[in-house]
A and B are shown apart, each in its own frame.
Chain A
């Protein structure tokens, strides 16, 4: 069974700092990986989707990379802002339409 781990569980940074969130998975036979943000009491908002054939995706200040062979993905956030404070989740998609989520990294950006 796929295991998805996100480290650290919580992160606090001053505004303006660049930061990296990590996601690791145990089975490299994936067909995509998706990063989400979740605000307290809300649903999930998709940030970036990386297909298994891709190495990275970028959207604005966000860049996500994927290394299937090592079972790792990183989400890079440039010039962090207080509005980036949320929980960030990664989800691994496998053949057979099974998806596995990590438990998330709770990010606080201090003004």
Chain B
């Protein structure tokens, strides 16, 4: 049982490049979400999903896209990277209203 996995662990991008952060869970959880963690600001919710085919925006969705074609996977796409998107990104999953389980994070640096 791997829990929540994220790839890559670390990525460097140039401004304007696009990329996809991968997230997968093997606990059959309905709810999956993406957060970014910045110094002094805590974790902020980017996008979330309550099941396959259903996604919604969190607190800071601009510049990011998500899709949920399967229960297991919830990729986060950066369409045109900006230095302001330099952050640590965490994926989490849970049953609805249950304990959230977090992945190990992806450190993203945008130059």
Contacts and interface: CB of A to CB of B under 8 A. Distances in A.
Interface of A: 1, 4, 31-32, 34, 36, 42-46, 49, 51, 89, 91, 93, 97-104
Interface of B: 31, 33, 35, 40-45, 48, 50, 56, 58-59, 90, 92, 97-105
A100 B101 CA distance: 15
A100 to B, nearest CB: 8
Contact of B43 (A31, A89, A97, A98): A89
Contacts, number: 54
A43 B98 contact: no
Given A34-B99, A98-B59, A99-B33, A91 B50 contact: no
Given A101-B43, A103-B40, 4 more contacts: A44-B102, A91-B43, A97-B31, A100-B59
A58 B105 CA distance: 28
